[in-house]
Amino acid sequence: MANGWTLLSSVAACVVSIWVAQAFLLRILEVVVLATSVMYHGFDRKQNSRIHKLDMLAVGLAIVIHLLLAPFHFLDDLLLYYAVAIAFFWHSHKFGGVWHLTACGHAMGAYAHYQLSAAMQASAA
């Protein structure tokens, strides 16, 4: 059951992130994250496997690109959102089997993307 919830929360977060992305590069990165996340949460399910590392690398790359594209006045908020999301993921991996923390991390990541999109739109206006 846990992997079903983490898969569902991951797919939902990626769909929201693709939907609100303000740059084509962000959409491409989110599609890559979606693909690696489905491979990990849907099929592989082994921590520290090759696909798990690929999934974390794709997410890390997306975060770096988001930080580079974020308006300067929004960086502190974005860093806080990502710090909370990373804390959820770290605790879920550290303690194992705490799947609801992974789902919270996915939700926090999607919220960060939504807020980034709003900040980018406000800066463009």
pLDDT of residue 5: 79
pLDDT > 70? residue 22? yes
HEC sequence for 100-116: HHHHHHHHHHHHHHHHH
The confidence band for 1, taking pLDDT boundaries of 50, 70 and 90, is: very low
Would you call 70 helix, strand, or coil by DSSP?
A: coil
Residue pointed to by tokens 């994250």: 33
Which DSSP symbol is given to 38? I
- CA neighbor of 19 nearest in space, from 34, 2, 38: 34
pTM, rounded to two decimals:
0.83
**Which pLDDT score, from 0 to 100, does residue 32 have?**
92
Asked whether the CA dihedral 18, 101, 1, 55 is positive or negative, the reply is positive
Residue with tokens 């489905």: 38
Q: What is the pLDDT of residues 90-121, one digit of tens each?
A: 888 788 767 788 888 889 989 998 999 888 88
Residue type, 31: V
